[in-house]
Chain A
C-alpha cells in the first residue's frame, strides 16, 4: 500500500500507468475482437483463445531468431494461425457447434490444455521475447517513458481492427459472417454455406490472435502458460462491452489495461494475475445482479 502514497505524491506516475495501460489494452482489444466474432457467430466461447495468442507469439520469436525484423512476423503469424484455426475447426470445433454450451466450453478448454502442453514440449517453458532494438520516447519532461515498439503495436492494432471492421462490413464473406450471426437458418435458406462461414470465422479469429501474439512477443514476453489470462481478458472485455458492441471493445480494453497496471503497481506484480481473475468473478457477479434488478423492474 506504500505505493499508493507514491502515486499521490508523484502524480506524473499516474500518467505513466495510464499510458502503459492503454498501450497494453490495445493488444488485449484485438484478441477480444476475435473472441466476440466467434462468440457472436458460432455461439462458442473459445477458451483456447489465449493459446492461439501464445502460438502467434512463438511465430514472432522464431522469425526474430532467424534474423528477420519481428514486425514482418505480424503477417506471418496471421497467415500461420489462419491455417491452424481452419485445421482446428475442421478437426474438432465443428463437432461442437450447436451442441450444449458446456460441451463447447469443455472441448475448447481441452484444446487449450493440449496446445499449451504441445508448446511446452516443443518450445520449452522458458520466458522469451522478440523485442526489437528501438528507441524510447520521453514525455512530460522525461518522466513518462514510452517504448516506440509499443506505439507501433498500438498503431498495428488500430489498423488491424479497422481493416477487420471494414472487411466484415464490405466484403462478401464478411457479409455472410454477419448474416450467419444474425440468423443462421435464414442465411442457409439464402444459400450461404454456414459451415464454411463458421470455419472462416474461426480461422479468422485464430489469425487475429496470431497477430496479437506477435505484438505481445514484441512488447512483452511469451511463455507456454500465458493462455488462460489472455482468454479471461478477452472474455471480460466482451462481457463488459456487450456482445456486438465493436466500438466498446477498445475502450473497455484500455480500461482493463489501466486497471491491471494500477493493481500491479499498488499491490505488487505478484498479485496481478490473481487480481485479474478476481475481477472476472466480480464483473460476472455484478453483471448478474444488474440483470436481476432489471428483471425485477419488468415485473
Chain B
C-alpha cells in the first residue's frame, strides 16, 4: 500500500527532524522543547477527552504534581543532578498515576457538565492549595535544581528529554489504541451504557485511561520545571487557564479522537501562540482568549474531522456510511 509507505516515510521524517532540530535551529531550542511538551499535552488529553469522550479540564493536575515531586526530590536528595532528576521523574510518575487511580473512580463516575466542572475544580483546587502550602514555597513556588553546563547545553538536554517523552507517549498510545483497550475506550465514548451492558468493566477502563494519561503528564513535570527554571503553582505547575485549556484546545484544533490530530493541533497552536507573543506583545493573552472562542465555536470538528469529511477514503472509511467523530484511523 502506497499510503502505508507514505505514512512510514512521514513518520521517519518527523523523527529525523526532531533529532536534528536543536542543531538546525539552535536559537529556537526552548520553544521547540515546549512544542514537544504541547504535543505530549494534547496526546495525553486526547486519551480521556477524545478517545473516551470524558472532557477533562483538570489533567494539568498530574503535570503539576510531577513538577513539584521532581523539584522537591532534587532539592532534598544529595544525589548528582541527573540521578536525582531521573529518580524524581520516577517518583513523579508513581505519584501522578496513584492520584489518577485514587481520584478516578470518584471523578470519572460523573457525566456531562458535572464531570467538566469537577475536573476544572480539581485543577484550580490543587493550584490554590499548593499556593497556600508553606512547605512547598507557597504562592511564589520553589526553584528546582539546575543542571550542570552552559545554558544552551541545558536547553538541549531538556529538549531531548521532552522530545523522548513526547515520542514515547505517541508510540505508547498508537500501540494502546490498536489493542482491546482502544476498542473499549472508544465503546465507552460511543455509548457507555451499552458498553457496560456488553459486560465491560467500564470504570476499570476509564480509570486505566486516566492513569495512562497521568503517567506521561507526571513524567513531563520535572523536565519542564528544570527548563523553565522555576515551579510556580498558578503559572506553571497547575496553570489551568493556560496549559489546562490549551491541551483541550490543541486536541480539538487538530481533531479529537484521532492519533495524529492532537499532534497536528499542538504544532499549529504552538506556532500561532509564539506568533502572538512576537507580534502582539501585551495583547497575546487577549488574542489567545479570542482564538479559543473562535476555534471552539467555528471549528469544533478540527483539522482531522474536516479532512475526514472531505476524504473519507484517506481514513479507510467506506464512503456510503460517513460516521461522525468516528473511530481512530
Contacts and interface: CB of A to CB of B under 8 A. Distances in A.
- Indicate whether A and B interact: yes
Interface residues of A, number: 44
Contacts of B283: 121
A114 interface: yes
Given A110-B296, A285-B107, 15 more contacts: A96-B297, A105-B57, A105-B117, A109-B245, A110-B292, A111-B293, A270-B139, A271-B132, A273-B124, A278-B125, A280-B117, A281-B121, A281-B122, A284-B117, A285-B106
Given A271-B129, A274-B129, A280-B125, A103 B117 contact: no
Nearest to A273: B128
Interface residues of B, number: 41
Interface in A207-248: 228, 232, 235, 239
A292 interface: yes
Interface stretch (B16-24, B108-116, B141-149, B157-165): B108-116
B118 interface: yes
A164 interface: no
A68 interface: no
Given A271-B132, A277-B125, A285-B106, A113 B292 contact: yes
Interface in A116-131: 116-118, 120-121
- Best-surrounded residue of B106, B120, B138, B248 (most CB of chain A within 10 A): B120
B282 to A, nearest CB: 8
Given A121-B286, A285-B118, A278 B129 contact: yes
A95 B131 contact: no
B55 interface: yes
B117 A114 contact: no
B229 interface: no
A107 B293 contact: yes
- Best-surrounded residue of B57, B106, B117 (most CB of chain A within 10 A): B117
Interface string B266-307: 000000000000000011011011101100111010000000
A114 B290 CA distance: 6
A114 B285 CA distance: 8
Tell me what chain A mostly uses at the interface: helix, strand, loop, or mixed: helix
Contact of B241 (A113, A115, A235, A287): A113
Contacts of A102: 55, 112, 116
B288 A113 contact: yes
Contacts of A99: 300
Given A109-B57, A278-B129, A288-B110, A235 B296 contact: no
A87 interface: no
Interface in B221-273: 241, 245, 248-249, 252
B132 A268 contact: yes
A276 B122 CA distance: 11
B289 A114 contact: yes
Contacts of B118: 280-281, 284-285
Interface in B67-106: 106
Contacts of A121: 282-283, 286
Contact of A277 (B106, B121, B288, B292): B121
Which 7 pairs from chain A and chain B are nearest by CB? A114-B289, A274-B128, A110-B292, A277-B125, A110-B293, A280-B121, A274-B129
Nearest to A269: B132
Nearest to A45: B113
Contacts of B132: 268, 270-271, 273-274
Contacts of B120: 47, 109
20 contacts: A45-B116, A92-B297, A96-B296, A96-B297, A100-B300, A105-B55, A105-B117, A106-B252, A109-B292, A110-B245, A117-B286, A117-B289, A118-B286, A121-B286, A239-B114, A271-B128, A277-B122, A277-B124, A278-B125, A292-B109
Contacts of B55: 102, 105-106
A76 B296 CA distance: 32
Contacts of A47: 120
A255 to B, nearest CB: 18
B188 to A, nearest CB: 15
Given A102-B55, A114-B293, A284 B125 contact: no
A284 B245 contact: no
A101 interface: yes
Contacts of A120: 285
A270 B241 contact: no
Contacts of B241: 113, 116, 228
A146 to B, nearest CB: 28
